[in-house]
Chains A and B, each alone.
Chain A
Amino acid sequence: MSKVLSWQGWLVFAALAALPLTPWMSKYYLLLAFDALLFGAVALSLDLLMGYSGLVSFGHAAFFGLGAYSTAVLLERGVLSLWLCLGLAAVVVGAYALTVSYFATTRRGIYFALLTLIFAEVIYTFFRYTQTFGGSDGIQGLPPSQVWSGVAIDTPARLYYLVVAYLLLAYLACRALVRSHFGQVLVAIRENEDRARFLGYNVQRYKMGVCMISAVLTGLAGALYPGRAAYATPDLLHWSISGEFLIMVMIGGLGTLVGPIIGGVFFTVLQEKVSSYVQWYNIVIGLVLVLIVLFVPRGLLGFRHALRRRPGREAA
């Protein structure tokens, strides 16, 4: 196994860690950076599924939103421990993902994607119309979580460092995964699922495995969200959010891990900036996305994908 992270990688994370020390990082920009990196982490998790396993999920908003609601429910009841919030999110999202993936992996291609969408819509509808969870208002006015008793994550800088730490860990986990035996089999399944079966691989087990890993990583990111927004609403579970996650992965570059992180950051910042100037920001964003698809169809980091296919011995 190679180094944990390349020197370029460490440099990027060192720069991210130093960012709040620069004078122009106001509270507003720290929170924007939080969102950008959080959605970068979500796009990274989705890339495991789309880029490496060839499975398209239209339901990742459900994993994200369930993670957010898990935290919200605990914070609302005065359980402030960040670790309990993350733990509950992992359990809830893991259980839900087990159910979804068990059924969805029995189908392929568009049918897989539609099943993830249908399950996610059920979750959306449930939270939208259940008063216990606040119905359409969601759960509002939440206190910040605490790393340990008395140390609350209540400033933009602390939130920012929390998301940088999560992104680093999630990236290292995904990177180790795609280089492992498991990750190599996923690529084989993406390339030719039937052949993988004839080589002795239980394809459904691998697919369920990667679905659950991707879902739990997305859910953990979701669990960090109420700490910043002080709410969890059904909007987080909406299918249009799943669509945005897909777009982040596509514009960043499928199957590159780093690309989707950049895609998530790019999309989030673009959306925030454009929407602060014009009401019809979606038209501008749409136009930018069309241009990206036309001129860099493999995504901003698509060239890395080609580079990864070098001779076997050195290959990751």
Chain B
Amino acid sequence: MSQGETMLEIAGVSKSFGALAALAGVSFTVREGEVFSVIGPNGAGKSTLFNVISGLHVPTGGRIVLRGTEITGRPPEVINRQGLAKTFQITNIFPGISVYDNVRVAAQSRTPVSGRLSSLWRLPDVEGPVMGLLDAFGLTARRGDLAQNLSHGEQRYLEICLALATEPALLLLDEPTAGMTPGETKEATALIRRIALDRSLTVLLIEHDMSVVMGISDRIAVLHFGEKIAEGPPEVIRSNPKVLDAYLGGADE
């Protein structure tokens, strides 16, 4: 991958819940166009990191800069409009409306009418982008079904469609293949890679499954008990003794 401009800068970000330090001074930089993964054992602070970046939690310390704009502590809707979209580890969709309406309401968010007075009587036409996304994720045939009636794998894809419909520059994927079979995981990984390339997206990925991470990432950061213990390309991370130790002996600490 080309080494582009800085997309996201995480500088000394900390987050404490009471006495528990979930994140302790984590820093890294995600460059434009790359797939950057954050890995680590359970409880390493990966999801907290995502929640802080996407605006769900306000960090206790540090700075987060997205495309030159500081977004530290801003609410999720503002951060999303700065070009960051997030998918959730536990499927988070609009269960009681159709698959098409799910993606449509997400796509409407980027139309000029959104937030204007005329949005009270106008409905923007977003059929093109919505059908494009549904096609890319193989959901076209199910567009009329209620989202809650989709299979688990399909819901995971719909989750990504929602995020992509807001036309982000940076996509945060929180364990996108959680709960998928090995076959589905492989397919999903290839699909994510292809869509990221097609849309020249920058991807920040949290993943448990090492095979997914190694196959898809340009660079990897490893979190352990809220601290970054390593960063580098997959082949370097794979042989880093601290990383191996964290994964094999981490539970004892």
Contacts and interface: CB of A to CB of B under 8 A. Distances in A.
Contacts of B124: 181
Nearest to A316: B123
A187 B127 CA distance: 18
Given A182-B119, A184-B123, A198-B76, A312 B108 contact: no
Interface string B115-128: 10001111110010
A194 B92 contact: yes
Contacts of A177: 120-121
Contacts of A309: 96-98, 146
Contacts of B225: none
B95 interface: yes
B164 to A, nearest CB: 11
Contact of B77 (A1, A180, A200): A200
Given A194-B92, A198-B85, A180 B121 contact: yes
A313 B105 contact: no
Interface residues of B, number: 44
A45 to B, nearest CB: 15
A312 B100 contact: yes
Contact of B162 (A181, A199, A213, A310): A199
A315 interface: yes
B106 A199 contact: yes
A105 B226 CA distance: 35
A185 interface: yes
A267 B127 CA distance: 41
A203 B75 CA distance: 11
Given A181-B114, A310-B144, A198 B86 contact: yes
Interface residues of A, number: 31
B101 A312 contact: yes
B156 to A, nearest CB: 14
A200 B81 contact: yes
A191 B146 contact: no
Interface string B158-181: 000011011000000000000000
Given A198-B86, A311-B144, A312-B98, A180 B123 contact: yes
B94 to A, nearest CB: 4
B77 A202 contact: yes
Contacts of A180: 119-123
A185 B114 CA distance: 10
Contacts, number: 113
A188 interface: yes
Interface in A269-316: 309-313, 315
Given A181-B111, A315-B100, A201 B77 contact: yes
Given A179-B123, A180-B122, A181-B124, A197 B75 contact: yes
Interface string A163-184: 0000000000000110111101
Contacts of A136: none
A47 to B, nearest CB: 16
B104 interface: yes
A200 B109 contact: yes
A99 interface: no
A198 B53 CA distance: 12
Interface of A: 1, 176-177, 179-182, 184-185, 187-188, 190-192, 194-203, 213, 309-313, 315
15 contacts: A176-B121, A182-B119, A187-B97, A188-B94, A188-B97, A192-B92, A195-B94, A197-B80, A198-B77, A198-B92, A199-B162, A309-B146, A310-B98, A311-B100, A311-B143
- Considering the complex of A and B, which 6 residue pairs feature the smallest CB-CB distances, nearest first? A312-B100, A311-B144, A191-B94, A200-B80, A181-B119, A188-B105
Given A198-B86, A309-B96, 4 more contacts: A1-B122, A176-B121, A180-B123, A181-B122
Interface of B: 54, 75-77, 80-81, 85-86, 88, 92-101, 104-106, 108-111, 113-115, 119-124, 127, 130, 143-144, 146, 162-163, 165-166
